[in-house]
A and B are shown apart, each in its own frame.
Chain A
Amino acid sequence: MALKLSMTCGLYDPSQPLIDGRVTPRDIDLEIHVNSDDRSRQRDGREGKFDIAEFFTGIYMADLEQRTLGLTAIPIFVKRMFRHSYIYINRHAGICSPKDLNGKRVGLQTWFTTTALWARGILEDEYGADLKSITWVANWAEKIGRWQPPPWLKLEPAPQGVKLHDLLIAANIDAGITTETWAPFGHPDIDFLLPDYAEQERQYFKRPASFRSNTRS
């Protein structure tokens, strides 16, 4: 008798064969719920609504000391991609390069969002941005076990009910890291921090000795 399991994940190239049935797990009757909304999928995972869930690595890691989530990670990275094109600026904020973010206000969905986590790494490691000098404005707060923000972190909540995108247009923040697509066909005041991101990603990929893409398990 097959083991019945339920799973939730986003729709990506690696998950597509499982979703459309081209690949079927042996001896498992797998029911897949595709949910492309990261936040609600993560909430479902936390609430134990599924046996298997794609989950934010950062939240899982921050909880690891206390293990309040009740989750066990298996080393399957369902999503790997570059994040150079997920960093946007207000064209009037005086930002011409990543180092110009120093001392500025940068929005993100949450401190733990995988995209933002990897983008911060790129900004610091590849372009020398000083992350500690930046005021981070988070759309949502995350409560994770006994996790406490490090003393250097300047993290403030965005005004309730206001979208990061609108904060950037209003110049309440100077830049934003998001999984949403804000350019090139969005508001005229919003642009990519790295307009030549495709070339930047190619160069990034060619460099050896470090791990080169966003992962989420």
Chain B
Amino acid sequence: MQAKAVEHVIKRLDLKATPPLSKIFDFSLARKVLAEIQSKGWKPGA
């Protein structure tokens, strides 16, 4: 989802540089949360 959102923003603003996603977002928190909910077997809507 982030990649598609970023792609849209870059195109619409006609930005020259396309940095990698890792330079745009800090994913460390999201990865930590994902690992935690996966380890607990959580599913959406549960």
Contacts and interface: CB of A to CB of B under 8 A. Distances in A.
B19 interface: yes
* Interface SS, A side: loop
A74 B26 contact: yes
Interface of A: 57-58, 61-62, 64-65, 72-77, 111-112, 117-118, 120-121, 150, 152-153, 210-211, 215, 217
Contacts of B9: 57-58, 61, 117
A117 B13 contact: yes
Contacts, number: 61
B13 A75 contact: no
Contacts of A57: 5-6, 9
Listed from nearest, the 10 A-B pairs whose CB atoms lie closest are A211-B4, A150-B14, A75-B25, A215-B5, A61-B9, A75-B2, A73-B25, A117-B12, A72-B26, A121-B12
30 contacts: A57-B6, A57-B9, A58-B9, A58-B13, A61-B9, A61-B24, A62-B15, A64-B24, A65-B17, A65-B19, A73-B26, A74-B27, A75-B2, A75-B27, A75-B30, A76-B30, A77-B1, A111-B13, A112-B13, A117-B12, A118-B12, A120-B12, A121-B8, A121-B11, A211-B4, A211-B5, A211-B7, A211-B8, A215-B1, A217-B25
